[in-house]
Amino acid sequence: MAEKFHRATFSRNFLRTITRIKNPDEMLAEAKSEGLEKTLGVFDLIILGVGAIIGSGIFAVVGIAAAGSADGSALGAGPGLVVSMIIAAIACIFSALCYSEFATMIPVAGGAYTYTFATLGEFAAWMVGWVLMLEYAIGFIAVACAWSNHFVQFLSGFEKVLPAWIAHPPVWLVNDAFSAAKIAAADSAVHIPTLFGLPICINLPAILIVLLITMILVKGTKDSTKMAGLMVFIKLAVIALFVVAGAFFVKPENWTPFAPNGAAGIFAGAFLIFFAYIGFDALATAAEECKNPQKDLPIGIIGSLIITTIVYVSVALVLTGLQDTSAAVPMGFLKAPMAYCMSLLNMNWAAGLISIGSLAGLTSVLLVLEMAATRILYAMSRDHFISQRFQKLHPKFKTPALLTWTVGLLAVVGILTLNLDVAAELCNYGTFTSFIIVCVAVLILRKTDPERPRPFKVPFSPVTPALGIICCGGLMVYKSMQPSGSALLFPVWLGVGAIIYLLYGFVKNRLNENKIHNEKVELKKQEMMK
């Protein structure tokens, strides 16, 4: 009987613990007493938002979205790509509005992790933080490798070739014949170091850009924003050049038929383009560093999406006006559509500038992704889920320097060990999950704490959050139906996260709570003795 009682007591305590909700007022008090330096204004937020969103997608994915994949597995939207982009933007707006409500109501570091802790409880918050590491930390590694690829291509335009062994992922992670042949050819031309008979490849450009970005972030959010601003200016200038120069050569007949594959092609294009919009959510993780989050964050989040949509639609109109996408298109258009179109018009100099724009775009994405990853881990450190040493700020720069360097060095390890094709696929599931959770959290807090001041309120609630859930959930289901192993690996990732929570996060938090309780008891005893 006693054993049953103890088991029931343990079960109740366990359930009470994992569903423990952290009061938003407590979060705000912590941020006020020991928070990050407030340096970001509305212009900074828009720069970071545009910098995070406009990456390699507009320079690469847009070609497949317009014309379809070479193997026919993905339908092309044709000139209807303009509609695809608007659909993708609307799908993002639903979630962006929910992020805006939370970011103005609880302007502290952590983003979706923080919002989940305030609504769904401790365990759910941990899992969201774990999932966000897919989107930001793993995404950071994948983008660094993409940056390396673009850098190598850029150098090849000047007939400069880096040896394969210092500009390629580790050979044991190579899973395509082209890359394997490339390394084999390099191995026959020059001596490549080997380990257990395998050529050693270290992808040095990716490692160096990660270390550079980390160094910049340690120096401060303001300096990071300045660099992001420069990168954003470069890539927007390059895109503007393409739109203006290409507009003079547009053939209106290429815009017919408008939707060669009908609605199916338009929605397939929207699915691909959706990933070119991801990144606005990173702004929420920097809420604690905003000077006026209640006013500036919604403008930053929504404004960056609007600017991005205008840019994307302009590119789509010119691109489909230059290239007939209703018939078979050259492989060059699918891989690098903007550069291909400029070369087609004998503007090779412009094609080179587009390569620079692509590098600038990826650089700004790297800045925001690493910053977002560190801010989430910073919030988890504040909640005692990971070591509190990561919570300490640099005495001069007022940034979580140790945490930033830890993320940067772990990214280097990831570059040397991860299969990035699979990792990039997993990132998508992390994004969808966090979007859905934030939309759900808005609905919950509207019920549990309706009187809490909301400087920005999601319009047409509960319809808008529900549409966000439907859109992101539908895209997740669609993605899981594609022939990829990532759909099976995502539940594995969640399972590993749950185990880590039970063996580490849960135990560590309980030890901290017991410590605080004992300190309170001791303090009460001392007061009574007086």
- Confidence at residue 419, expressed as pLDDT on a 0 to 100 scale: 67
CATH number for the domain spanning 382: value is: 1.20.1740.10
- Confidence at residue 76, expressed as pLDDT on a 0 to 100 scale: 87
- Confidence at residue 5, expressed as pLDDT on a 0 to 100 scale: 46
Residue 116, domain member (yes or no)? yes
Residue 10, domain member (yes or no)? no
Element (H, E) at 322: helix 293-322
Residue 515, domain member (yes or no)? no
- Confidence at residue 203, expressed as pLDDT on a 0 to 100 scale: 84
Residue 523, domain member (yes or no)? no
- Confidence at residue 276, expressed as pLDDT on a 0 to 100 scale: 83
Q: Which of 278, 276, 299 is nearest to 103 (CA)?
A: 299
- Confidence at residue 399, expressed as pLDDT on a 0 to 100 scale: 87
Q: Is 208 left (phi over 0), alpha (psi -120 to 50) or beta?
A: alpha
- The segments of the chain whose pLDDT lies below 50 read 2, 5, 172-178, 186-190
Element (H, E) at 198: strand 198-199
Separation in Å, CA 250 to CA 86, 243, 385, 425: 21, 10, 56, 35
Q: Which are the contacts of 39, defined by CB distance < 8 A and separation ≥ 6?
A: 220, 221, 222, 225, 289, 291
- Using CB atoms within 10 Å of the CB of residue 530, give its burial: 0 to 12 exposed, 13 to 18 middle, 19+ buried: exposed
Residue 32, domain member (yes or no)? no
Domain extent, residue 375, equals 38-167+203-488
Q: How many structural domains compose the chain?
A: 1
- Return the structure tokens found at 485: 């192993």
Residue 24, domain member (yes or no)? no
How many beta carbons lie within 10 A of that of residue 96, not counting itself? 25
- Confidence at residue 178, expressed as pLDDT on a 0 to 100 scale: 45
- Confidence at residue 26, expressed as pLDDT on a 0 to 100 scale: 87
Residue 425, domain member (yes or no)? yes
- Confidence at residue 333, expressed as pLDDT on a 0 to 100 scale: 83
Residue 345, domain member (yes or no)? yes
